Structure 1
Amino acid sequence: MLPVKARILRHENISNVMKIMLLRFESKFVAPARPVLKTKQVTTTRPAIEGREDPEIFSPEYIPRQVLPEWHRNNLKYRLERMDCLRRRQIVNLPEFYPGSLVRVTYSDKHSVGKFLKFAGRVIYRDGFGMDCHFCLRNILDNEGVEVVFPLYSPLIQHIEVLRLEKWVDTDLRYLRDAHDQSVCEVDMDMVPEAILPNSEPLPAVEKKVKLRPRRTWGWKFHRAWPEPRNAYLSEHFVTEELTMNQRYIDTHSWRKFDICRHHDFIQEKKDVMDEMKMNKLRIKANKTTNPV
């Protein structure tokens, strides 16, 4: 089909004055690019193992924060948010990734030339419940650390591509900001994605340790964090006396080890959520068959 401008100029029944007026008020609207829709996956005979379930059935953002006492929990809100997450996942492909994975995100930006931008980096944390789930990507550009926080269910996100699927022992990798070798977060924007293990096989945890810069330049007291970071060298920054004082501090704050909110066992809650999401998928499928668009 010819563009609007060419069709106006070729039209014989329109006067020259009217053609000038139509071209003058021609719309400059450019339709934005659509997000990458989810394709039908080929089901395998081998089921997913524990910890690598189908993201539609279970994802970390489906579990709300622990609230005590129990009657302060807004269970209706939790159910509605999980349903919204599932509806979004049924339309847009949101792959499996963990803190430590290398991810590239394509998102809409009205100020860019092509109306979209790409950013790649290492996931240093993933937090939030339901539609408020967000993750942070860190990359080194021109010898400067750059971090971008993306809402996982944002309509501006067109495509999320996992370049390398990794699962570190620590779920909070903010100490990578103070890493001695910043190349651990350096990711090529045009990196070719690596093959991902199927969810029927276990994903080995990355246990390598990162050397940090001198302690006086740290952005936070990582040695007092609980649980203690296991992917970073911390003890080499302290002498024996400082380690003793640090252990004394941990003992005086030993209430963290017995805080029920920090040791919440959500095994049964995870099973309930998975059963709920399976029923939600059936409800969505039934609505599509009875009310086709």
Structure 2
Amino acid sequence: MDKIINAVETNYKKEDIPEIRPGDTVRVNVKVVEGEGEKKRERIQPFEGLVIKIRGAGLGRSFTVRKMGADRVGVERIFPFHSPSISSIEVLKKGKVRRAKLYYLRDVKGKIRIKERKD
């Protein structure tokens, strides 16, 4: 059974995924399709924020990115690592944190500092 699952997963796995950890600041470039029919247009939309969670394994592995939007409203988005709608992932800063899940950042008001990792 595992051989069958691995054979199917290899067709859909992406190889160019950078190493991401909670606390990192990333920019995820997402393919967005606008319009329908002949007016269908595809563009790249960047989503930049802090990785607060990584979960799963294999094709089901995903990460959650949180950014501060307009009027200091937090916006979170969940991205599957191997999604075809993700064109690229860039690590802008590597953060040094002591937790795997950074849910406490949801309640923090104002600007929070996360120390930078040096590796």
Residue 85 (structure 1) shift: 8.1
- After TM superposition, what 4+ stretches of structure 1 lie above 4 angstroms from structure 2? none
Which of the numbers 107, 119, 127 marks the counterpart of 2:30?
Answer: 107
In structure 1, what is the equivalent of residue 59 of structure 2?
Answer: 131
Residues 1:148 and 1:87: Cα distance change in structure 2 (over 3 Å): closer
1:21-43, CA deviations, whole angstroms, 9 ceiling, x for partnerless residues?
xxxxxxxxxxxxxxxxxxxxxxx
In structure 2, what is the equivalent of residue 88 of structure 1?
Answer: 14
**Structure with greater contact order relative to length (CA < 8 Å, sep ≥ 6):** 2
RMSD after superposition? 3.1
Unaligned runs of at least 5 residues, structure 1:
1-73, 186-195, 198-202, 204-293
Which of these two proteins has the greater Rg computed from alpha carbons?
1
Kindly tell me the number of residue pairs found equivalent between the two proteins: 111
Return the letter of the residue paired with 1:133: R
In structure 1, what is the equivalent of residue 104 of structure 2?
Answer: 175
In structure 1, what is the equivalent of residue 38 of structure 2?
Answer: none
SS at match of 1:115: strand
Residue 157 (structure 1) shift: 0.7
SS at match of 1:170: coil
Alpha-carbon distance between aligned partners in 2 of 1:84 and 1:167, rounded to the nearest angstrom = 32
Residues 1:132 and 1:87: Cα distance change in structure 2 (over 3 Å): closer
Scaled by the length of structure 1, the TM-score of the pair is 0.34
- Give yes or no for contact 1:139–1:145 (8 Å, CA) kept in 2: yes
Greater strand share, 1 or 2?
2
In structure 1, what is the equivalent of residue 89 of structure 2?
Answer: 160
In structure 2, what is the equivalent of residue 98 of structure 1?
Answer: 21
Which of the numbers 66, 73, 79 marks the counterpart of 1:144?
Answer: 73
Identical amino acids, percent of aligned pairs: 31
Alpha-carbon distance between aligned partners in 1 of 2:104 and 2:10, rounded to the nearest angstrom = 33
Map 1:1-293 to 2 at 5 A.
Answer: 76=2, 80=6, 84=10, 87-89=13-15, 93-111=16-34, 115-142=43-70, 143-181=72-110, 183-184=111-112, 203=119
Scaled by the length of structure 2, the TM-score of the pair is 0.78
1:123-169, CA deviations, whole angstroms, 9 ceiling, x for partnerless residues?
00000121011101001011111011111000111010000012421
Alpha-carbon distance between aligned partners in 2 of 1:161 and 1:94, rounded to the nearest angstrom = 9
- Give yes or no for contact 1:106–1:119 (8 Å, CA) kept in 2: yes
Unaligned runs of at least 5 residues, structure 2:
36-40
- Give yes or no for contact 2:13–2:82 (8 Å, CA) kept in 1: no
